[in-house]
């Protein structure tokens, strides 16, 4: 039976919804936790539905069906009871009243299996990466399993008044926040007027290489603090040649008689504000690698609660003393740590990345382990939250909460800490246009940052705080609990060795890795080291390795000996497995988004070797034009959804025999597009 997606598809409408979705934050699963190269929910929902329902026989019915798919793809309709039930019924009717089995064997952040679940399918999500597995459980398994059940000391019950999973996560999240703030609040003391420090602006420093100068130079890429149409505030460099010091002053309005977009450093080259001597990138890297790069607290971002506005001032002696106290407290906390592991992430960064960098430019500057990405107060804040989440779990059990439910709530709290860590590194920069601190992974990389902004995780404003991350995660919980009463089946395994029997799935819809586009394992280690410390003992089978497993990761990675041949062989194995577990009449959709001709040749070769034949393909526009990754990689703005079937009874022909047929088909599809 020919499926709708093999006949036609509302490309324009689904593309528009997919791009629009990139601006939706509240309740979107992307705010549960960061994951890279997620598929839009709109495209996932539309293509899954179109892959499971038959193609209408006449044009009028086809037109109506395409209009329905376009409506179905809209974000606001994902929770439309009438529309969603109509879609579920159509799918069930196509499979004799049963829920079709749908697999995503590269499930990543869970967009495809979530939409399969929402459409009433029996969804299976498979992933190798431990961080992705935790995200998948949080999105596809726990909400559906626990949201509608009352938790008691004796077990699960449907009777009586009950609190929801969302409410319980909020409750325990607020307990963790209160306990951590009680311990850590003294390291973010308010000013005498009551203004709260919400951010600290730091600069890394190196010594001027001019022997007669030798001043400590603060490395600042730019000097803006606020750069809005009606609000201009900047740091002004005040060279003190007599005392050989570089000082700063906060200026605004007409006092800004210089260009604040120019700091003391540009692309790893430095100009001394005192003597004017310059240093090239090689000198700067050498100083950093040999341990002669330090840091200096330059300024504070404050929030006045009465006036409800941000203020800026230069750091003073008291601010530096508070930080030194935090350093001493951290040392004492580590020495008296309750559990048998080092609370600070001392695991090594991927040294293989030194050759090709692959976005890990911090390695060039002597940053060698994950703990190096945090200053002492940032480490203290994060390990304090880790400690409080672990204590919350113990307290839940002591109060009689069922073990599996306590584990579930601890998992969400661990994800809050993990999400907050993304905003609490010494790579985060102050954003003067928005006057806030963007996260570390604004890009799929770890680039060096000369000046950085340290976030107060207890701040009453700014994104990235524990409270704001808790709020984002509970909003997602509210959304995903409405998908389906049955959880998805989440499995940690390699796509090259599926544990399912032959001819098991009605559809396999998946988005495999793109050649050398994203180093998922290396990037996710950032979160792995925190999740392992927070909930590793609750998931010993998932967090069994020091860092995420990478030997079976299907990417092209020359630094680890994974060339194009490795990628093609591994992808072919995965596609062979898809062929094996797919029912004879089943349909597979493989998503690919890469410009490289070689990459496409690899994918097509793998499909052919695996015994899959292409029956249709649809280029769905899924990315915003201005996204950062599009400026520097071979990622496409459109993701191509390749629709495949098992090859059966295929015949061989010479090109000349089918030339006219190919030309005719191309014209037909171009007209349709």
> Is there a domain that residue 334 lies in?
yes
Of 436, 455, 471, the position where a domain reaches its end is 471
Regarding whether 378 and 271 lie in a shared domain, the answer is: yes
3-state secondary structure 465-498: CHHHHHHHHHHHHHHHCCCCCCCCEEEECCCCCC
> For a pLDDT cut of 90, what percent of the chain falls above it?
79
Between 64-78, 399-413, 569-583, 610-624, the lowest mean confidence (pLDDT) is in: 610-624
Q: Give 148's DSSP letter.
A: T
23-41 burial, b at 16+ Cβ within 10 Å, e below that, comes to eeeebbbbbbbbbbbbbbb
Helix (H/G/I), strand (E/B), else coil: 125? strand
Q: Give 53's DSSP letter.
A: S
- What is the rounded distance in angstroms from the CA atom of residue 105 to the CA atom of residue 120? 19
| Residue 38 and residue 109 in contact, taking contact as beta carbons nearer than 8 Å | yes
The pLDDT tens digits of the residues spanning 184-238 come to: 999 999 999 999 999 999 999 999 999 999 999 999 999 999 999 999 999 999 9
444 compared with 523, residue with greater pLDDT: 523
The pLDDT tens digits of the residues spanning 643-652 come to: 999 987 667 7
Whether the predicted pLDDT of 153 surpasses 50: no
Regarding whether 366 and 219 lie in a shared domain, the answer is: yes
The pLDDT tens digits of the residues spanning 85-111 come to: 999 999 999 999 999 999 999 999 999
Helices (H), 216-352: 281-289, 317-335
| Residue 319 and residue 325 in contact, taking contact as beta carbons nearer than 8 Å | no
- What is the rounded distance in angstroms from the CA atom of residue 168 to the CA atom of residue 406? 10
Regarding whether 190 and 102 lie in a shared domain, the answer is: no
Whether the predicted pLDDT of 598 surpasses 90: no
Assign 26 a pLDDT band (cuts: 50, 70, 90).
confident
The backbone torsions φ and ψ at residue 465, rounded to the nearest 5 degrees and listed phi first, read -70, 165
Residue 56's pLDDT is: 96
Assign 163 a pLDDT band (cuts: 50, 70, 90).
low
82 compared with 152, residue with greater pLDDT: 82
Assign 580 a pLDDT band (cuts: 50, 70, 90).
very high
Please give the span between the terminal C-alpha atoms of the chain, in angstroms, as a whole number.
23
List CB contacts of 7: < 8 A, sequence separation 6 or more: 55, 62, 616
- What is the rounded distance in angstroms from the CA atom of residue 43 to the CA atom of residue 74? 10
Q: Give 515's DSSP letter.
A: T
Beta strands in 372-459 (DSSP E): 451-455
Count other C-beta atoms under 10 Å from residue 538's C-beta: 18
Q: What is the arithmetic mean of pLDDT over 115-122?
A: 96
Regarding whether 356 and 219 lie in a shared domain, the answer is: yes
| Segments forming the whole domain that contains residue 373 | 184-471
Give the β-pairing of 489-492 and 196-207: unpaired
The pLDDT tens digits of the residues spanning 376-405 come to: 999 999 999 999 999 999 999 999 999 999
Regarding whether 192 and 107 lie in a shared domain, the answer is: no
Residue 22's pLDDT is: 85
> Is there a domain that residue 305 lies in?
yes
Residue 159's pLDDT is: 43
Assign 515 a pLDDT band (cuts: 50, 70, 90).
confident
> Is there a domain that residue 632 lies in?
yes
Regarding whether 449 and 314 lie in a shared domain, the answer is: yes
CA angle, 596 as apex, 591 and 570 as ends, to 5°?
60
Regarding whether 320 and 196 lie in a shared domain, the answer is: yes
Assign 638 a pLDDT band (cuts: 50, 70, 90).
confident
Regarding whether 399 and 302 lie in a shared domain, the answer is: yes
Of 455, 471, 487, the position where a domain reaches its end is 471
Regarding whether 347 and 245 lie in a shared domain, the answer is: yes
Regarding whether 429 and 300 lie in a shared domain, the answer is: yes
The pLDDT tens digits of the residues spanning 265-321 come to: 988 899 999 999 999 999 999 999 999 999 999 999 999 999 999 999 999 999 999
**What is the Cα 463 distance to its own chain's centre?**
15
Short-list 583, 552, 571, 567, CA closest to 610: 571
The backbone torsions φ and ψ at residue 392, rounded to the nearest 5 degrees and listed phi first, read -60, -40
Assign 152 a pLDDT band (cuts: 50, 70, 90).
very low
> Is there a domain that residue 165 lies in?
no
> Is there a domain that residue 156 lies in?
no
Of 471, 497, 532, the position where a domain reaches its end is 471
Residue 161's pLDDT is: 43
Residue 164's pLDDT is: 86
Q: What is the arithmetic mean of pLDDT over 627-632?
A: 47
CA distances to 241, 248, 338, 432, 571 from 258, in Å:
19, 14, 53, 16, 55
Strand partners, 237: 248
**What is the Cα 283 distance to its own chain's centre?**
34
Whether the predicted pLDDT of 145 surpasses 70: yes
The pLDDT tens digits of the residues spanning 650-671 come to: 677 888 998 998 899 889 888 8
Assign 23 a pLDDT band (cuts: 50, 70, 90).
confident
Regarding whether 95 and 222 lie in a shared domain, the answer is: no
> Is there a domain that residue 467 lies in?
yes
Question: Mean pLDDT, the chain, as a whole number?
Answer: 92
- What is the rounded distance in angstroms from the CA atom of residue 89 to the CA atom of residue 92? 5
Say how many domains are in the chain. 2
Regarding whether 198 and 96 lie in a shared domain, the answer is: no
Whether the predicted pLDDT of 673 surpasses 80: no
Q: Specify the pTM.
A: 0.94
| Residue 53 and residue 95 in contact, taking contact as beta carbons nearer than 8 Å | no
Assign 352 a pLDDT band (cuts: 50, 70, 90).
low
The pLDDT tens digits of the residues spanning 309-350 come to: 999 999 999 999 999 999 999 999 999 999 999 999 999 998
Short-list 44, 40, 47, CA closest to 3: 47
Q: What is the arithmetic mean of pLDDT over 593-601?
A: 80
List CB contacts of 225: < 8 A, sequence separation 6 or more: 201, 233, 234, 235, 250, 299, 301, 312, 430, 432, 435
Q: What is the arithmetic mean of pLDDT over 611-617?
A: 93
> Is there a domain that residue 37 lies in?
yes
Residue 222's pLDDT is: 97
- What is the rounded distance in angstroms from the CA atom of residue 562 to the CA atom of residue 527? 24
> Is there a domain that residue 336 lies in?
yes
């Amino acid at each position: 039976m020919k499926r709708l997606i093999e006949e036609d598809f509302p490309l324009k409408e689904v593309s528009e919804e997919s791009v629009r979705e990139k601006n939706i934050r509240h309740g979107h699963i992307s705010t549960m936790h960061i994951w890279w190269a997620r598929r839009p929910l709109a495209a996932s929902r539309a293509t899954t539905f179109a892959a499971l329902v038959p193609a209408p026989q006449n044009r009028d019915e086809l037109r109506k069906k395409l209009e329905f798919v376009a409506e179905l793809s809209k974000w606001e309709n994902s929770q439309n009871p009438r529309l969603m039930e109509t879609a579920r019924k159509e799918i069930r009717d196509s499979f004799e009243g049963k829920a079709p089995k749908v697999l995503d064997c590269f499930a990543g952040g869970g967009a495809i299996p979530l939409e399969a679940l929402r459409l009433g399918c029996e969804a299976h999500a498979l992933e190798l990466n431990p961080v992705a597995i935790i995200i998948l459980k949080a999105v596809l398994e726990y909400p559906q399993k626990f949201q509608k059940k009352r938790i008691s000391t004796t077990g699960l019950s449907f009777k009586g008044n009950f609190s929801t999973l969302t409410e319980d996560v909020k409750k325990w999240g607020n307990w963790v926040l209160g306990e951590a703030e009680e311990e850590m609040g003294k390291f973010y003391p308010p000013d005498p007027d009551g203004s709260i420090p919400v951010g600290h602006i730091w600069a890394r420093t190196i010594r001027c290489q001019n022997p007669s100068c030798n001043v400590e130079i603060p490395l600042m890429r730019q000097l803006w603090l606020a750069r809005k149409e009606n609000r201009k505030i900047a740091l002004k460099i005040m060279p003190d040649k007599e005392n050989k010091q570089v000082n700063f002053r906060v200026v605004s309005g007409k006092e800004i008689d210089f260009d604040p977009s120019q700091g003391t450093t540009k692309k790893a080259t430095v100009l001394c504000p005192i003597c004017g001597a310059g240093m090239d990138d090689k000198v700067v890297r050498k100083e950093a690698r040999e341990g002669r790069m330090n840091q200096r607290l330059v300024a504070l971002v404050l929030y006045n609660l009465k006036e409800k506005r941000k203020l800026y001032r230069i750091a003073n002696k008291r601010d530096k003393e508070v930080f030194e106290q935090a350093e001493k407290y951290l040392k004492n906390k580590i020495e008296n740590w309750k559990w048998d592991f080092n609370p600070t992430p001392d695991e090594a960064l991927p040294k293989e990345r030194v050759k090709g960098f692959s976005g890990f430019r911090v390695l060039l500057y002597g940053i060698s382990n994950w703990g190096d990405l945090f200053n002492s107060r940032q480490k203290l804040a994060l390990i304090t939250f880790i400690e409080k989440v672990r204590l919350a779990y113990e307290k839940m059990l002591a109060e009689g909460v069922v073990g599996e439910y306590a584990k579930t709530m601890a998992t969400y709290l661990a994800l809050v800490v993990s999400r907050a860590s993304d905003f609490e590194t010494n790579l985060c920069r102050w954003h003067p246009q928005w006057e806030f601190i963007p996260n570390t992974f604004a890009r799929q990389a770890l680039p060096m940052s000369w000046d950085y902004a340290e976030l107060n995780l207890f701040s009453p404003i700014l994104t990235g705080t524990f409270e704001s991350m808790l709020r984002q995660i509970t909003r997602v919980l509210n959304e995903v609990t409405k998908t389906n009463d049955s959880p998805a089946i989440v499995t940690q395994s390699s796509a090259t060795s599926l544990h399912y029997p032959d001819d098991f799935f009605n559809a396999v819809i998946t988005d495999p890795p793109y050649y050398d586009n994203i180093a998922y394992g290396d990037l996710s280690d950032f979160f792995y080291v925190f999740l392992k410390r927070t909930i590793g003992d609750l998931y010993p089978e998932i967090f069994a390795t020091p860092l995420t497993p990478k030997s079976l990761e299907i990417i092209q990675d020359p630094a680890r000996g994974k060339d194009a041949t490795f990628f093609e062989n591994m992808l072919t194995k995965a596609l062979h497995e898809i062929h094996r577990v797919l029912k004879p009449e089943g349909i597979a959709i493989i998503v690919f988004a890469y410009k490289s001709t070689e990459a496409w040749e690899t994918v097509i070769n793998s499909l052919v070797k695996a015994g899959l034949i292409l029956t249709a393909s649809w280029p769905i526009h899924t990315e915003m034009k201005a996204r950062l990754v599009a400026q520097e990689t071979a990622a496409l703005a459109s993701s191509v959804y390749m629709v495949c079937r098992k090859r059966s009874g295929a015949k061989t022909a010479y090109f000349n025999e089918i030339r006219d047929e190919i030309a005719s088909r191309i014209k037909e599809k171009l007209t349709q597009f």
